[in-house]
Every structure is written in C-alpha cells, then in structure tokens.
Amino acid sequence: MFGLKRLVPHACSMRTSLTMQLCSYKEKFLVFPSHHLAQLTSNRFLDIYQLGNKTAIEKERARLADEMNRGYFADISELKQHGGKIAAANKILIPAMAAVKFPEFEVSYSDGKTLKLPNKFDANVVEGNTSASILPMATLLCLSFRANSQAMIDSWSAPFLNAFSSSNNVQLYEVSFIDQWLLCRNPIKKVLLRLMRKSKGNAQNDSLQRQIVYSFGDHYYFRKELKILNLLTGYIFLLDKFGRIRWQGFGLATQEEVSSLLSCASLLLEEK
C-alpha cells in the first residue's frame, strides 16, 4: 500500500512532464512544419534564410492550413458532383479593359528547352521589330494538374486545332504541371522529359501545332492567382496578344462552349 502511495505522485509528475513536452513540441510544430507534413501538402520547405522572418513563417502557416483544408478527397467529391465542370465557360469575349493578365511562368519542352509563357507583346518593343511580328494574336493555354484531366483538355484543343490549323497568328499550348518534390529534382526531371520525348507523336505540317510542355516546381501561388482549387479538372484560357485572359473554360467541353471558344478566338484575330 505504501509503495502504491509513493508511485502515485511519481506518476503524476511524469504525466505533467510529458504534457509540457507535448505542448512545447506542438508550438514548434505550428511554427515550423515538419519535413514529412510539408512534403505531403506543399512539397516545399521554408528557406533557411526565412526561418527568422516572422512574415514568411506566418505566410507558410496560412498556406499549410489552406492546403490541409482543401485536399484530394474534396476534389474527388466535386468531380463526382459535376464531372469537372466547376463553372460554365464564357459565352462572349471579355472586354480588353476588364481583362486581367495571365501570370508569367516557365515551362519545359521534352527536349529540355525552356520558355516563358505567355508569349505577349511588349509595349516597349519598337513597332516593326521582327521578334514582335511573330508573336501570336491569340493563345490557347490548356492547363492540366493531374493525368485524369487529359480527356477534358482534348475536348477543347482538338476542335481548336482543326479550326485554326492554317493560322500563323494562333498558338496552342497544353501544359502539364508537375509538383511532386522528387520528380522536380534535376536527375529525375531529365529522365522524365526524355521519356516524354520518346512517347511524343509525329509533328504535323500545319502552321498551328499542339505544343506539349511541362511546368515543374511549386505552383501554389500561381494557382491562387488564377483561383484554381480543384486539381482534377482541366482549365482552359484564351489569351490575347498582350497576355490578357479574354475567355475561360473548364472540364469537358460542350458543343456550345466549343463554338463560343472558336468565335472568340476569331474575334481576337481581328483586333488591332
């Protein structure tokens, strides 16, 4: 009995100590996300020089909470509800004054060459400049974040390709976003691009060709800027020569939406 009485205070003391340690670890966890949790959610880590930056830490915590609240199962649930059609496509061209610029990002071809998208006119370029003359009047960007959305992308790009196959003033890019940390490392990235190059089909002789490119790395803030939440659907953007978003579509294309896209692209070719 006396032995039991001596053990009770000791056990309480141990429990108090463990609770304090757990609280301490919890505080550290909230400020500095663990290696594994960061890899599962954002696939990136806070830079060493930012560890003492309070603003950077708060920004990272907000991002982590946002990505944990919006996960894969939420995307699956939405996909079951509307099949990726998160909104109807625009029926008319967005006025130039109301259009916003598409954020610039880097893509890689399968041969390793890189390019900044979107291609756009620069107001500082002298009129008549050769490099300015080859820039497109209209660009269709088809964004895919997961492989299952490829059929959605095809439903837009195929009729667009057929309609403007002989046009020199139109460009079409199908962009696959790869954000897995391991696949973005240089050795793996090079192997992946080499495999993509081998599986690439034969090029067409038409003026307009489907350009398949890949964007590696962290795309969180890119997606936030474009208000992209569901990663299982396809996103279609029609841009004008200044890189402004003039039309947008989602998911699988309907015949009416395809007609709207082609009509709006034709209007962009007539703009001066």
* One-letter identity of residue 207: S
Query: In 3D, which of 176, 146, 142 has the Cα closest to residue 159?
Result: 142
- Between the alpha carbon of residue 67 and those of residues 58, 61, 70, the distances in Å are 14, 10, 5
pLDDT tens string 237-247: 999 999 999 99
**Could you tell me which residue, 98 or 45, shows the higher pLDDT?**
98
pLDDT in the model for residue 7: 43
pLDDT tens string 15-57: 444 334 433 333 333 333 333 333 344 445 455 455 567 776 7
pTM of the model: 0.73
Lowest-confidence range among 100-109, 149-158, 166-175, 195-204? Answer: 195-204
For the chain, percent of residues with pLDDT exceeding 70: 68
Query: In 3D, which of 14, 7, 9, 262 has the Cα closest to residue 138?
Result: 262
pLDDT in the model for residue 228: 92
Task: Specify the 3-state DSSP secondary structure of 208.
Answer: coil
The confidence band for 74, taking pLDDT boundaries of 50, 70 and 90, is confident
* One-letter identity of residue 202: N
**Across 216-231, average pLDDT:** 92
- Between the alpha carbon of residue 198 and those of residues 59, 148, 206, 209, 269, the distances in Å are 41, 21, 21, 18, 35
- Provide the edge-to-edge strand list for the sheet that holds 170-178: 114-117, 105-108, 210-216, 170-178, 138-144, 234-240, 245-250
105 membership: H or E segment, kind and range: strand 105-108
Residue found by looking up tokens 């015949």 in the block: 255
DSSP string for 165-199:
TT-SSEEEEEEEEE--TGGGSHHHHHHHHHHHHHT
Mean pLDDT, all residues of the chain: 78
Does pLDDT of 260 surpass 80? yes
Does pLDDT of 103 surpass 60? yes
Residue found by looking up tokens 């199962």 in the block: 73
The confidence band for 263, taking pLDDT boundaries of 50, 70 and 90, is very high
Task: Specify the 3-state DSSP secondary structure of 14.
Answer: helix
What are residue 174's DSSP bridge partners? Answer: 142, 212
What are residue 237's DSSP bridge partners? Answer: 141, 248
**Could you tell me which residue, 149 or 78, shows the higher pLDDT?**
149
**Across 180-184, average pLDDT:** 85
Does pLDDT of 88 surpass 50? yes
The confidence band for 101, taking pLDDT boundaries of 50, 70 and 90, is very high
What are residue 138's DSSP bridge partners? Answer: 170, 240
CA distance 255 to 272: 29
**Across 134-152, average pLDDT:** 93
